[in-house]
């Protein structure tokens, strides 16, 4: 036998037939798929043409196209869709062609009978029943309705089968989980009740033994600690004796030397508690600065500036409570510094005292040009200067009281007008956000284009109130007006004015007005 006969065995005929059959099947499937996509594209184009003809009311040409579509469907053995059926029936209806419509509906019924999918079959039958109602074909509608009932029953039975299958799968999964749980439970150690009691008693005895041993060892360590404390007391007594001896020697040496007192400077700054208020001195003369410090240091922290740029920057950053400015800074720039302070929205609330070298109307004219609150001719007389500063501080307190009266009448019919734009914007923003419990000073400062620190300080200077206090008082004033008008229950009013809970609202109302919200709400209008 030749060598190649042993090396290569012949391929069986059955295997060759299978390979040929598979190759032909793949080629046929690709051909059918390509043809099927082309057929569907052609059908879609035909139906789009029908829609365009119907929209343009060209029903005669549309009926011609309907016949082409029906012939196309029969030739390619395709079922008509519900939308296409309604479209063709509408074209026949426009042309009043009842015979063609009847044939169309009968063909659609045959397509529905041969459709194996109950869902698409039910949709087509439902469309046939609707169109039969339009053409008054009761027999065809009855047959279609019967077929529709059968299709719906098939759909319902399919859904029940799917539901049953899902429940069976859930049951199987629960059963498998139960088996795994039982298998996992078998892995844990199980102890009988009697053995558990025995182990518990033994463990308790062991813990009791440890407790008794701990008490005994604690007593031993306590005795050792007391001994060490006695040793430490002896050491501290010796150290104290040495320290007393050193102090006595230092006292004797101090008595032997005489200390001469240093004279006090008449311009020494006040050495009492550090004041909270800040005064900015814009003065290049060192002697004048020392003199003004001696007059103001008991009520203000003193800050100084020598140049106009430095003065404006410090005024904007520090927001002092008082500014004393000399006219003679780099020529006549002091007036311009004071005017810039009064024109700035950030610093226009700060009282400015102007120092000038002019007398009478000329000095007053300088003060008016700068917008200063007071002016003095150098040299400054301490009593008059002190009285003027105190008058400015008292005027601030009067403004605080005036704002408090304004706040009490703000939500009533006797509201008075507020002239300050800063305070007016603040009050209006708080009023618009009373119901928002999260409304804070940061929101107001952001809208006024100020930092929170600058905003809080300016509000405190103008009203004497912190932003949180002002928001709280406005909420309580609004709540009182609403309670007096019987605008709602205390609980509803507490939510309306931005309190998080009725309890906190009641406590705040009682603390601010000294009255109970429920009592005020229950009083008759004649007693309010």
- Better-predicted residue by pLDDT, 519 or 381: 381
How far is CA 449 from each of CA 79, 442, 455, rounded to the nearest angstrom? 72, 10, 9
Mean pLDDT of the chain: 79
Quick one: average pLDDT of 340-361? 84
pLDDT digits (tens, 9 = 90+) for 169-178: 888 888 888 8
pLDDT over 80 (residue 236): no
pLDDT over 60 (residue 437): yes
* DSSP code at position 515: S
pLDDT over 70 (residue 239): no
Reported in sequence order, the residue ranges of 245-377 that DSSP labels E, i.e. its strands, are 278-282, 301-305, 322-326, 352-356, 374-377
Return the ∠ at Cα 30 (arms to 25 and 33), rounded to 5°: 120
Quick one: average pLDDT of 255-273? 48
pLDDT digits (tens, 9 = 90+) for 8-33: 345 555 555 555 555 545 444 444 44
SS3 356: strand
pLDDT digits (tens, 9 = 90+) for 289-317: 888 888 888 889 999 988 888 888 998 88
pLDDT over 80 (residue 423): yes
Q: What pLDDT, on a 0 to 100 scale, did the predictor assign at position 15?
A: 59
Reported in sequence order, the residue ranges of 315-430 that DSSP labels E, i.e. its strands, are 322-326, 352-356, 374-377
Q: What pLDDT, on a 0 to 100 scale, did the predictor assign at position 346?
A: 85
pLDDT digits (tens, 9 = 90+) for 178-218: 888 888 777 766 667 788 888 889 999 999 998 898 888 88
Q: What pLDDT, on a 0 to 100 scale, did the predictor assign at position 380?
A: 78
pLDDT over 50 (residue 270): no
Look at the alpha carbons of 94, 97, 103, 109 in this order and tell me if their dihedral is positive or negative: positive
pLDDT over 60 (residue 460): yes
- In this structure, how many other beta carbons lie within 10 angstroms of the beta carbon of residue 56? 10
Torsion of CA 422, 424, 427, 430, to 10 degrees: -70
Backbone angles phi, psi at 326, to 5 degrees: -95, 140
- Better-predicted residue by pLDDT, 12 or 496: 496
pLDDT over 70 (residue 139): yes
Q: What pLDDT, on a 0 to 100 scale, did the predictor assign at position 271?
A: 54
pLDDT over 80 (residue 245): no
Quick one: average pLDDT of 444-454? 85
Quick one: average pLDDT of 489-510? 84
CB-based contact 279:321 (threshold 8 Å): yes
Q: What pLDDT, on a 0 to 100 scale, did the predictor assign at position 120?
A: 87
pLDDT over 70 (residue 519): no
First-to-last alpha carbon distance for the chain, in angstroms, is 131
- CB burial string 362-393: b at 16+ within 10 A, e below: ebeebbeebbbbbbbeeebeeeebeebbeebb
pLDDT digits (tens, 9 = 90+) for 35-72: 568 888 888 888 888 888 888 888 888 888 888 888 88
Q: How confident is the model at residue 448 (pLDDT cuts 50, 70, 90)?
A: confident
Least confident of 60-74, 359-373, 401-415: 359-373
Burial of 26 (0-12, 13-18, 19+ CB in 10 A): exposed
CB-based contact 312:337 (threshold 8 Å): yes
pLDDT over 80 (residue 272): no
Quick one: average pLDDT of 150-159? 87
Quick one: average pLDDT of 420-449? 86
pLDDT over 50 (residue 473): yes
Q: Any long-range contacts for 95-103 (C-beta under 8 Å, 24+ apart)? A: 95/59, 95/60, 95/63, 97/63, 98/135, 100/63, 100/66, 101/131, 101/135, 102/135, 102/137, 102/140
Least confident of 87-91, 223-227, 374-378: 223-227
pLDDT over 60 (residue 4): no
CB-based contact 471:497 (threshold 8 Å): no
- How far is the C-alpha of 421 from the C-alpha of 405, rounded, in Å? 18
Q: How confident is the model at residue 480 (pLDDT cuts 50, 70, 90)?
A: confident
Q: What pLDDT, on a 0 to 100 scale, did the predictor assign at position 207?
A: 92
Q: What pTM does this model have?
A: 0.45
Percent of the chain with pLDDT over 90: 3
Q: What pLDDT, on a 0 to 100 scale, did the predictor assign at position 493?
A: 85
pLDDT over 60 (residue 254): yes
Quick one: average pLDDT of 263-275? 53
SS3 274: coil
Residues written for the chain: 528
Least confident of 29-33, 224-228, 340-344: 29-33
For the chain, give the longest Cα–Cα distance: 145
What does the DSSP assignment read for 5-40? HHH-PPPPHHHHHHHHHHHHHHHHHHHHHHHHHHHH
* DSSP code at position 221: H
DSSP H or E stretch at residue 218? helix 193-256
Q: What pLDDT, on a 0 to 100 scale, did the predictor assign at position 206?
A: 92
């Amino acid at each position: 036998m030749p060598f190649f006969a042993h090396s290569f065995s012949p391929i069986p005929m059955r295997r060759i037939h299978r390979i040929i059959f598979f190759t032909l099947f793949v080629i046929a499937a690709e051909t059918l798929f390509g043809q099927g996509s082309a057929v569907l594209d052609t059908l879609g184009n035909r139906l789009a043409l029908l829609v365009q003809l119907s929209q343009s009311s060209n029903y005669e040409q549309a009926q011609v196209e309907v016949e082409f579509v029906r012939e196309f469907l029969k030739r390619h053995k395709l079922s008509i869709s519900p939308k296409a059926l309604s479209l063709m029936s509408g074209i026949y209806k426009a042309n009043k062609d009842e015979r063609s419509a009847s044939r169309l509906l009968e063909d659609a019924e045959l397509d529905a009978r041969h459709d194996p999918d109950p869902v698409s079959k039910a949709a087509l039958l439902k469309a046939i029943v609707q169109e039969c109602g339009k053409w008054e074909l009761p027999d065809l509608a009855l047959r279609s309705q019967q077929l529709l009932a059968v299709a719906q029953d098939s759909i319902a039975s399919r859904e029940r089968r799917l539901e049953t299958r899902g429940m069976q799968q859930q049951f199987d999964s629960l059963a498998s989980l139960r088996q795994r749980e039982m298998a996992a439970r078998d892995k844990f150690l199980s102890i009988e009740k009697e053995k558990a009691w025995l182990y518990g008693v033994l463990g308790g005895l062991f813990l009791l033994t440890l407790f008794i041993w701990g008490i005994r060892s604690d007593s031993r360590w306590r005795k050792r600690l007391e001994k060490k404390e006695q040793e430490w007391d002896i050491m501290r007594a010796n150290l104290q004796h040495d320290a007393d001896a050193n102090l006595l020697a230092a006292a004797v040496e101090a008595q032997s030397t005489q200390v001469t007192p240093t004279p006090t400077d008449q311009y020494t700054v006040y050495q009492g508690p550090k004041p909270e208020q800040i005064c900015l001195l814009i003065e290049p003369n060192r002697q004048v600065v020392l003199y003004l410090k001696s007059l103001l240091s008991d009520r203000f922290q003193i800050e100084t500036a020598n140049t106009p740029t430095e003065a404006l920057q410090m005024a904007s950053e520090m927001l002092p409570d008082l500014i004393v400015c000399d006219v003679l800074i780099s020529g006549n720039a002091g007036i311009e510094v004071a005017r810039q302070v009064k024109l700035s929205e950030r610093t226009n609330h700060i009282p400015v005292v102007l120092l000038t070298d002019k007398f009478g109307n000329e000095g007053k004219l300088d003060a008016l040009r700068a917008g200063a609150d007071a002016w003095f001719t150098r040299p400054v007389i301490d009593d008059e200067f002190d009285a003027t500063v105190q008058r400015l501080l008292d005027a601030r307190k009067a403004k605080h009281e005036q704002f408090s009266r304004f706040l009490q009448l703000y939500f009533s019919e006797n509201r008075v007008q507020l002239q300050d734009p800063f305070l007016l914007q603040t009050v209006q923003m708080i009023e618009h956000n009373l119901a928002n419990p999260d409304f804070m000073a940061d929101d107001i400062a952001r809208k006024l284009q100020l930092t929170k620190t600058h905003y809080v300080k300016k509000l405190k200077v103008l009203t004497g109130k912190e932003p949180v206090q002002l928001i709280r008082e406005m909420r309580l004033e609004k709540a009182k007006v609403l309670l007096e008008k019987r605008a709602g229950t205390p609980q509803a009013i507490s939510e309306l004015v931005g309190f998080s809970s009725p309890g906190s609202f009641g406590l705040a109302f009682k603390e601010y007005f000294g009255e109970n919200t429920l009592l005020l709400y229950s009083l008759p209008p004649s007693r309010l």
